A and B are shown apart, each in its own frame.
Chain A
């Protein structure tokens, strides 16, 4: 294919190409290094790594797979946001429409199965990190960031679970959020709450306790749907992204993927 080859060489010589990729075209070790260093996405990585660290047998790629699934969730979730209204009138109908009206539509499926998969891979990633002892000094702090990421992943999945607004969604969230009622002091059925009184007035009741704050109401209703939607699509993803940035940065600062001394 001499024509294609010529075209390729021509493209690489253009000013446009050279303004994007800041290293020469030759396949040298120096340029391979620059390929990583001069790319904002790739520079999450160091230029060189210990061979054992990138072996499948060591990390199982589980952290990377979890991150990839998060990206898949962000992309598919964004597309779903175009069609979905977080209101009691429309939420369910929108989901049914996605199912019935979109030929070959699999965005909802990708989002839901991706979410399930992400929960499982994050657990397996934790298992790997434990079994290789990679939480030991100097990586104690990154393990802690990881635990927070695990909690956020579960919360993301929990808030998303409500959005289809069907029986499964509503009652799963009802069961899940009922626990908040029993929070010590701030849940109206929790220990200590009855003691919080001003004269005859109970300070903590079903209309202002922890569950009420979570659901924006006494029941899983319109308020809860909106709250969960905002948390699911903006609040938690933003926090998770910040923590992931810290997590990846720390992997590097702690000396790269762990290995025997």
Chain B
């Protein structure tokens, strides 16, 4: 038992967001680009990770994670949270998203290898000439699929009762109060940004950004078949947004955020009296008082000048540098207006993990704190 408890302690310790987030981001890039990023020693270290794209290795890994997951139900705290009827599909989502991301990347690598050896991609080989008839070839698959799903839904509904809690009571706020699970990523952003940014601006930009994808992606390759090599950057950006900034934040919000929106490990008891010191500090305070040893200027513009400079450089200067150096090809292909809109959306997306890191490492509250003008970033 002592051994099991030690493992649980380690997992709890690892699931504190700064560690968990950093580990996830590192794991994300290491698995996406095994042996390709960073200095030579890092590349040597991550190269063996390419093995994960072999179905057998992946099956063993998946099986192991699944086993760990099911064994975890023996822990009462884990059972209490993950076993909630509403949380069951979210737990299933971990494995579904994991599997399908893996599968599409694996199929992409398969096609890349085929193309390298001069053969057409799988989709081309299977294109089938002549075409097949919808009746019966497709209708039959659809029919089977519907029957299987009907059976699956009925079994799920028989074994898992839909929850109903106490009647609605406006006078009694539950702790924690959470948005529906698919909006927990948005609720998570509220921790780092003001409501009008996290709750209105960013969701709007997410929708806009998604809709703009086809107009930003000017790469004609990889249309209608799985590939990784021909679209590395696009896939990395999309998956980072989908897996890390959307699904991952939902998991945090569902399983790790407890009473008072404090963090708890998966095997930790949700103690409503857990005390977490609030020691957040403004950037202006940090620069003027701590670094320059001066009192805060009373003029808001002067007070926030450092934060404004940083934010200005991030949104105004960085896109220019990106266009000139790192994404030169994209810049030339897309032309300035399109490129700058894309860069703005991309940088906005990346500002979330950056803000999270700053909060965790420096307890930074806001870079620019101008409540006078509703402008806190």
List chain A positions with a Cβ less than 8 A from chain B.
Answer: 29, 32-33, 35-36, 42, 45-52, 54-58, 60-61, 64-65, 68-69, 72, 88, 92, 95-96, 99, 106, 108-110, 112-114, 116-117, 119-120, 123-124, 126-128, 130-137, 139-140, 143-144, 147, 150-151, 154, 157-158, 161, 164-172, 174-176, 178-184, 187, 189-192, 219-221, 258-261
Counting CB contacts under 8 A, is B254 at the interface? no
- Of the listed stretches B47-55, B66-74, B210-218, chain A binds B210-218
Residues of B within 8 A of A42 (CB): 134-135, 139
Counting CB contacts under 8 A, is B278 at the interface? no
Residues of B within 8 A of A150 (CB): 210
Q: CA of A52 to CA of B41 in the docked complex: distance in angstroms?
A: 42
- Name the distance in Å between A140's Cβ and chain B's nearest Cβ: 4
Flag if A166 contacts B196 (CB, 8 Å).
Answer: no
Q: CA of A123 to CA of B123 in the docked complex: distance in angstroms?
A: 23
Q: CA of A135 to CA of B223 in the docked complex: distance in angstroms?
A: 8
Flag if A51 contacts B128 (CB, 8 Å).
Answer: yes
Interface centre among B130, B141, B200, B220 (most CB of A within 10 A): B200
Flag if B196 contacts A183 (CB, 8 Å).
Answer: yes
Contact with A along B91-118 (1 / 0, CB 8 A): 0110011001100110110000000000
Flag if B225 contacts A133 (CB, 8 Å).
Answer: yes
Residues of A within 8 A of B182 (CB): 119, 154, 157
| Chain B residue nearest in CB terms to A162 | B168
- Of the listed stretches B21-29, B158-166, B333-341, chain A binds B158-166
Flag if A54 contacts B200 (CB, 8 Å).
Answer: no
Residues of B within 8 A of A48 (CB): 130-134
Q: Given known contacts A172-B180, A176-B179, A221-B170, is B133 in contact with A33 (CB within 8 Å)?
A: yes
Q: A127-B97, A165-B168, A170-B169 are in contact. List 11 more A-B contacts (CB 8 A).
A: A54-B137, A61-B142, A68-B146, A109-B162, A113-B157, A133-B231, A135-B217, A137-B214, A158-B180, A166-B168, A183-B196
Counting CB contacts under 8 A, is B207 at the interface? yes
Residues of A within 8 A of B195 (CB): 178-179, 181-182, 189
5 A-B pairs closest in CB distance: A179-B199, A51-B128, A191-B374, A109-B157, A140-B214
Counting CB contacts under 8 A, is B187 at the interface? yes
Flag if A133 contacts B223 (CB, 8 Å).
Answer: yes
Q: Given known contacts A50-B128, A164-B164, is B141 in contact with A56 (CB within 8 Å)?
A: yes
Between A and B, 21 residue pairs with Cβ closer than 8 Å are A49-B138, A52-B126, A57-B107, A69-B149, A92-B167, A95-B164, A106-B157, A120-B96, A127-B97, A127-B100, A130-B235, A131-B235, A133-B225, A134-B223, A135-B213, A144-B211, A157-B182, A175-B187, A179-B195, A182-B194, A191-B196
Residues of A within 8 A of B137 (CB): 49, 54
State the main secondary structure of chain A at its contact with B: helix
Counting CB contacts under 8 A, is B227 at the interface? yes
Residues of A within 8 A of B211 (CB): 143-144, 147
Residues of B within 8 A of A151 (CB): 207
Counting CB contacts under 8 A, is B39 at the interface? no
Flag if A60 contacts B177 (CB, 8 Å).
Answer: no
| Chain A residue nearest in CB terms to B108 | A131
Residues of B within 8 A of A88 (CB): 168
Question: Which residue of the partner chain, among B135, B156, B200, contacts A36 with CB atoms under 8 Å?
Answer: B135
Q: CA of A226 to CA of B156 in the docked complex: distance in angstroms?
A: 30
Flag if A51 contacts B168 (CB, 8 Å).
Answer: no
Q: CA of A29 to CA of B136 in the docked complex: distance in angstroms?
A: 10
| Chain B residue nearest in CB terms to A255 | B224
Q: CA of A36 to CA of B90 in the docked complex: distance in angstroms?
A: 38
Flag if B126 contacts A167 (CB, 8 Å).
Answer: no
Flag if B170 contacts A128 (CB, 8 Å).
Answer: no
Residues of A within 8 A of B220 (CB): 136-137
Counting CB contacts under 8 A, is B173 at the interface? yes
Q: CA of A64 to CA of B169 in the docked complex: distance in angstroms?
A: 40
Residues of A within 8 A of B314 (CB): none
Question: Which residue of the partner chain, among A52, A65, A109, A187, contacts B149 with CB atoms under 8 Å?
Answer: A65
Question: Which residue of the partner chain, among A113, A132, A220, contacts B160 with CB atoms under 8 Å?
Answer: A113
Flag if B180 contacts A132 (CB, 8 Å).
Answer: no
- Name the distance in Å between A213's Cβ and chain B's nearest Cβ: 14
Q: CA of A168 to CA of B146 in the docked complex: distance in angstroms?
A: 31
- Name the distance in Å between B137's Cβ and chain A's nearest Cβ: 6
Contact with A along B163-195 (1 / 0, CB 8 A): 111111110111001111011001100000011
